[in-house]
Structure 1
Amino acid sequence: MQKRKFLMILAAASLLPVVAQAHGPTRQKVTVTVEVAADPATVWATVGNFQDMSWHPAVRSSVGENGNDVDATRMLTLAADGDPTISEILYKHSDKKMSYSYRITDVLVEVLPVTNYSSHLTVKPRDGGGSLVEWRGAFYRGYPNNDPPENLNDAAAIAAVTGVYQTGLDALVEKFGAPAS
């Protein structure tokens, strides 16, 4: 009986390295912020409508349904070869808090190398005037299994999402100007 128990423990212990390596990807997070000279209400008037992403240079057009209501949808057509699209759904919107949250429901990993993506866009007053705009997201890499190809690994996903956020927020700085130091 002792020998059998010992063999079971030994067998279980030998599987630990396999289990440890087979956990798959971890959730990644990105937060990008910018400060702009315009007051929060002015900035929110530009970015606060879930249906309108004309302020983002990577978005050619946006069509959707149900405005800023929870479960509103939008499909973004990107300004890139082949007119790739991203479909999204809104799950939180507050004009009072100047914030909304959404998630991607459909995108090809060749367009944005992520899965299970959710994002939050918020405009806050900045000490000394102007606004702080924060765009943050959480997601998994585009390849769900171990040993992803380089274009679908964690680094590729982080770089792509950071690039999307930075490009959009840089456009807001261009539109509204940077606050005086």
Structure 2
Amino acid sequence: MSKFAHVMGALALWLGAAAPALAHGPTPQKAEEKITIAAAPAKVWAALKEFGDVSWNSGIKKAEASGGNGSGATRTITLETGNLVEGLDEYSDKDMSYGYRLSTENLEALPVSFYSATIAVTPAGEGSEVTWTGRFYRGDTSNFPPDNLNDESAVKAMTGFMRAGLESLKAKVEGKS
């Protein structure tokens, strides 16, 4: 077999494998933000630990919650741009973390069709580190989304929301807000 035939065969094999991936909708995106806070982990966790109380996040105008910190608890958060309904999936007071997901999308509030997120507090030197991780899909899950609902806009919005929330938490816990 000639070198040309080998190259063409390899190219056909690659295109055959890549074509289904290119024809499918969105791929999951990820955002992770961390912040160091000059306070003991217990103090930071005290500000975060109530799923329904997001007063630490200045980007959230209002929250209504039910179910406490139990699996299945819900909260509706009001942002400047609209409401999002979230559900609590897992909660660990011992590990100072919880995981939750978007239950009802609102593309005006955030340009994502779904997300799941975790927020956790860990010791870091004399203080704490808070890590907020989210996995999500863009707002328009078709193959050719408009710019305001594509992967880039979803990553930018989620990263910005998380970063602003962590900076707000830091200011509140350190007494600078």
The TM-score normalised by the length of structure 2 is 0.86
CA apart distance, 1:20: 4.2
> Do structure 1's residue 77 and structure 2's residue 63 form an aligned pair?
no
> Which residue type is aligned with residue 155 of structure 2?
I
CA contact (8 A) 2:47 2:173 kept: no
3-state SS of paired residue (2:20): helix
> Do structure 1's residue 151 and structure 2's residue 148 form an aligned pair?
yes
Deviations 1:43-80 (A, max 9, x none): 000011101001111111111111000000111112x2
**Unaligned stretches of 5+ residues in structure 1:** 1-12
CA distance in 2, matches of 1:117, 1:31: 13
Q: 1:34: which partner in 2?
A: 35
Q: 2:128: which partner in 1?
A: 131
Count of paired positions: 162
CA distance in 2, matches of 1:27, 1:59: 25
Query: How is 1:64-143 mapped onto 2 (pairs within 5 angstroms)?
Result: 64-78=65-79, 80=80, 84-126=82-124, 128-143=125-140
Q: 2:173: which partner in 1?
A: 176
> Which residue type is aligned with residue 27 of structure 1?
P
CA distance in 1, matches of 2:171, 2:163: 12
Deviations 1:141-175 (A, max 9, x none): 11111111000000000000001100010112222
> Which residue type is aligned with residue 90 of structure 2?
K
Q: 2:47: which partner in 1?
A: 46
3-state SS of paired residue (1:132): strand
CA distance in 2, matches of 1:43, 1:33: 13
**Unaligned stretches of 5+ residues in structure 2:** 1-12
Percentage of identical aligned residues: 43
Q: 2:7: which partner in 1?
A: none
Structure with max Cα Rg: 1
Inter-CA distance 137–20: structure 2 relative to 1 (3 Å threshold)? closer
Inter-CA distance 97–20: structure 2 relative to 1 (3 Å threshold)? closer
> Do structure 1's residue 164 and structure 2's residue 168 form an aligned pair?
no
CA distance in 2, matches of 1:98, 1:28: 25
CA contact (8 A) 2:105 2:114 kept: no
The TM-score normalised by the length of structure 1 is 0.84
